């Protein structure tokens, strides 16, 4: 290869890459208002963002790919734990994380500020960010279930439990979250039918429950995970 040929390859490669980058940047900016639901950007959402910054939540949490990695990602936190779960964790972290190795300080956030945070997190969770973060992806179930069902001894219900976010709050065999109770022996207390009812609408069974209704589960997924948990004795 001659120096002249190498020069033209470099020049054309650089120019084409620059054009592609600028075109992608322009296209992204063109869609910002639609992708980020600007029409839902209320004063309460803005107040929630200011509260988020006021208490330096990003020191420990990541949101939209920015922040610390000590605590859970908050991009889809409302979809994952619900508004009541957020209220409880922020208001009483010493209770919510009493059994967790990962602690959160009580920042004495006011009730009004907590509601602003929930509005902010709700808005963020509805941004079209190409299914990010992956741990909250709606596509995880089908991929995870296929992989786990292909493994000897793993049931579809176990796949739902492990890939649909249940382990963010609940543990099995010592693995999982500590916010909710461990479910190793849940089958001794509840039948499959009772588990189905509780998972679909926790507050209909226990009005004080902090668990969000799992409306994202299909009927088949709910049936499989209830069957799986009812056998945990």
pLDDT in the model for residue 142: 45
d(CA 211, CA 85) in angstroms, rounded, equals 7
Burial bucket for residue 142 (CB in 10 Å: 0-12, 13-18, 19+): exposed
Predicted local distance difference test score (pLDDT) of residue 171: 85
Note whether 38-131 and 138-230 share their fold.
yes
- Please report the pLDDT score of residue 125 as a whole number: 92
138-230 homologous superfamily: Cytochrome c-like domain (1.10.760.10)
Instruction: Give the integer Cα–Cα distance in Å for 194 and 16.
Output: 60
Separation CA 227–CA 116 (nearest Å): 39
User: If residue 125 lies in a helix (H) or strand (E), which one and from where to where?
Assistant: helix 111-125
Q: What percent of the chain has pLDDT over 70?
A: 92
Give the HSE-up count for residue 36: Cα atoms under 13 Å, Cβ half-sphere. 12
pLDDT at residue 154, as a whole number = 57
Read off the pLDDT of residues 145-162 as tens digits, 9 standing for 90 and up. Answer: 444 444 434 578 887 887
pLDDT of residue 35: 76
Task: Tell me how far apart the alpha carbons of residues 169 and 192 are, in angstroms, rounded to a whole number.
Answer: 20
Q: Is the pLDDT of residue 134 over 80?
A: no
Secondary structure E strands in 49-155 = 62-63, 66-67
Give how far the C-alpha of residue 63 lies from the chain's centroid of Cα atoms, to the nearest Å. 10
pTM assigned to the model: 0.66
The ranges assigned to domains in the chain are: 38-131, 138-230
The pLDDT value given to residue 129: 84
DSSP-derived letter for residue 66 is E
Q: Are 228 and 164 in contact (CB under 8 A)?
A: no
Handedness of CA 137, 73, 198, 154 (dihedral sign): positive
Q: Are 34 and 23 in contact (CB under 8 A)?
A: no
Structure tokens that stand for 155 in this block: 């049931």
CA 71/CA 62 separation, integer angstroms: 8
Beta bridge partners of 171: 176
| More reliable by pLDDT, 195 or 169 | 195
CA nearest 57: which of 74, 42, 40, 41?
A: 74
pLDDT tens digits for range 11-59: 999 999 999 999 989 988 888 777 778 888 899 999 999 999 999 999 9
Distance from C-alpha of 217 to C-alpha of 196, rounded to nearest angstrom:
11
**176, containing H or E segment:** strand 175-176
The fold of the 38-131 domain, in CATH, is Cytochrome Bc1 Complex; Chain D, domain 2 (1.10.760)
Looking at residue 169, what is its pLDDT?
Answer: 84
């Amino acid at each position: 290869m001659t120096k002249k040929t190498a020069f033209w390859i470099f020049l054309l490669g650089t120019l084409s890459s620059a054009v592609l980058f600028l075109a992608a940047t322009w296209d992204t900016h063109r869609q910002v208002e639609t992708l980020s639901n600007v029409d839902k950007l209320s004063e309460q959402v803005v107040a929630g963002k200011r509260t988020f910054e006021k208490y330096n939540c990003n020191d420990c949490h990541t949101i939209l790919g920015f922040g610390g990695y000590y605590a859970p990602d908050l991009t889809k936190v409302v979809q994952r734990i619900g508004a009541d779960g957020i209220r409880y964790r922020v208001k009483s972290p010493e209770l919510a994380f009493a059994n967790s190795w990962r602690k959160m300080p009580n920042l004495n956030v006011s009730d009004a500020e907590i509601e602003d945070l929930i509005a902010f997190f709700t808005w963020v969770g509805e941004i079209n960010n190409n299914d990010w973060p992956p741990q909250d992806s709606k596509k995880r179930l089908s991929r995870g279930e296929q992989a786990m069902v292909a493994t000897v001894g793993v049931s579809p219900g176990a796949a739902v439990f492990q890939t649909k976010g249940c382990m963010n709050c609940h543990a099995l065999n010592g693995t999982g979250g500590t916010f909710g109770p461990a479910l190793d022996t849940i089958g001794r207390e509840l039948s499959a039918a009772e588990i189905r009812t509780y998972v679909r609408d926790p507050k209909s069974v226990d009005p004080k429950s902090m668990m969000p209704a799992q409306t994202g589960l299909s009927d088949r997924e709910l049936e499989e995970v209830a069957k799986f948990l009812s056998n945990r004795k």
